[in-house]
Amino acid sequence: MTDTITKMLNTHPAQIDIDQQLLAECLAACFECAQTCTACADACLSEDMVADLTKCIRTNLDCADVCETTGRVLSRHTGYDANITRAVLQACAQACKSCGDECAQHADMHEHCRICAEACRRCEQACNRVLAAIA
Amino acid sequence: MTDTITKMLNTHPAQIDIDQQLLAECLAACFECAQTCTACADACLSEDMVADLTKCIRTNLDCADVCETTGRVLSRHTGYDANITRAVLQACAQACKSCGDECAQHADMHEHCRICAEACRRCEQACNRVLAAIA
Amino acid sequence: MTDTITKMLNTHPAQIDIDQQLLAECLAACFECAQTCTACADACLSEDMVADLTKCIRTNLDCADVCETTGRVLSRHTGYDANITRAVLQACAQACKSCGDECAQHADMHEHCRICAEACRRCEQACNRVLAAIA
Amino acid sequence: MTDTITKMLNTHPAQIDIDQQLLAECLAACFECAQTCTACADACLSEDMVADLTKCIRTNLDCADVCETTGRVLSRHTGYDANITRAVLQACAQACKSCGDECAQHADMHEHCRICAEACRRCEQACNRVLAAIA
């Protein structure tokens, strides 16, 4: 997917003020995290001990929604508004932090939570790097 | 829709710490604003002067995505995490402010932009009221 | 929300070939059902007997996603493609039927499932009425 | 992303009845196509000749929404309902076909449309392969 993301950035007619390497990595991280959180929420739902995973499921669902929206906003460069980009990236870094922390607590028992925690960390860091670059 | 939103809040088994009246108004405003921004983006796209409305279309698309995600996050009360709620509401208030400002500039020429600017203002205010209540 | 939906339809510069009353009702039903299914999934997640509601939660999540996408597609009238509209409405009617059936099985025990089943039925019927009108 | 998708499928506690290789390819294709269509809509919006690309933008937006929803539904395996999966895959194959056809018409002039048409074809085929496998 990163390959297609980079090609689309290269062919965009608008000027893109954010470092394209950072941007491509953040886009890939957002979509990966969105898919992983959706899958982790559903995997948790199929566990026998689902009753112990309800906060994890809820946080996964929030994080999937926020990552998807962030990936969409970062895919747009027409009429750029730094205020929206910044606020959305901050929300995404927060959702990924909360979800990464929650999934990490179940990482020893559930491999899907371990993989998901890693995707959340990657996305949190990628958002923070873009935030630093546009500060 | 507000009627069903309120009924769903009343029957939720979890404790809801946010004032339910404020919450119901904010939920209704988020979904209304999401639909209105999606419709306004498409109405702008059908205008003869679409070339003058590209920033408006882009901001509408961002605002629709952020409002939808905010409406989803606010619909969940299991395993509540105030940090996510706050960051998402801040992003939504910002997207609504930017989109309301942009649509307001075209309100004299395009009735759909005037209606959309109003929906953005209502949603921005509703988000700010919930933010103040959970501060 | 129906009021704003109707105003946005009235001010759209493109020709809208679908009966606007049917369309407005279907749009309102899609967004209401999306919100109700998101809320019902989360309410189920907070029930003590969550382990008995996992299929209901999953179907609620699918139905929320499909209804939201359908509401977005139906909000657009520029460059209308009847094939997409038809396929999306069929998917939405199916998701609402499946989710309505599932929620109806828990309606006696959980009021949120009863309210959600009703929202699914309304949306299923609204989709089928638009499908019949564009056949 | 395909790597993480495959890992999440391997660690899911539910039985997955669809061929996992086909499913992983379809999931990756859906998320790639969603991102590419979102980016292509915005690239078209920044072209000088945006007035000639309004149908392309609209179809891109529909296709992005449908692909994202399809990717979410296919990420879930708890309480599997073949009727929803089938209807959603059919809608996705149709949206990708319509969008691929539309983008292909602008492929000679706009490289982003050429890349997007290819992503749409890959996703259409991936959906049709899964549909054939679950028939």
Residues in Cβ contact with C24 at an 8 Å cutoff, skipping those fewer than 6 apart: C2, C5, C6, C9
Rama region for D4: left / alpha / beta (φ>0; ψ in -120 to 50; rest): alpha
Burial of B129 (0-12, 13-18, 19+ CB in 10 A): middle
Which residue type occupies A89? Answer: L
Tell which of A35, A37, A45 to mutate to test the C interface (max C CBs under 10 Å).
Answer: A45
Dmax (CA) of chain B? 51
Pairwise CB contact (< 8 Å): C45 & A51: no
| Alpha-carbon gap: A54 to the closest alpha carbon of chain C (Å) | 6
Pairwise CB contact (< 8 Å): B42 & D50: no
Helix, strand, coil % in chain D, rounded to nearest 5:
80, 0, 20
How does pLDDT run across C1-29, given as a tens digit for each residue? 889 999 999 999 999 989 999 999 999 99
What does the alpha-carbon distance between residue D5 and residue D78 come to, in Å, rounded to a whole number? 16
- At residue B100's C-alpha, the angle toward residues A126 and D52, to 5°, is 80
ipTM above 0.95? yes
HSE at residue D9, side-chain half, CA atoms within 13 A, is 21
Nearest CA in chain C to D83: C94
Tell which of B35, B37, B45, B58 to mutate to test the D interface (max D CBs under 10 Å).
Answer: B45
| Alpha-carbon gap: C55 to the closest alpha carbon of chain D (Å) | 4
B7-29 b/e (C-beta count within 10 Å ≥ 16 → b): bbbebbbbeeebeeeebbbbbbb
How does pLDDT run across C38-66, given as a tens digit for each residue? 999 999 999 999 999 999 999 999 999 99
Nearest by CB to A57, from C45, C48, C51: name it: C45
Dmax (CA) of chain C? 51
**Chain D interface, Cβ < 8 Å to A:** 1-2, 4-5, 7-9, 11-14, 27-28, 31-32, 34-36, 38-40, 42-43, 45-48, 64, 68, 71-72, 75-78, 110-112, 115-116, 119
How does pLDDT run across D21-55, given as a tens digit for each residue? 999 999 999 999 999 999 999 999 999 999 999 99
| Alpha-carbon gap: C22 to the closest alpha carbon of chain D (Å) | 20
Percent of chain B with pLDDT over 70: 100
Which residue type occupies C63? Answer: C
How does pLDDT run across C58-110, given as a tens digit for each residue? 999 999 999 999 999 999 999 999 999 999 999 999 999 999 999 999 999 99
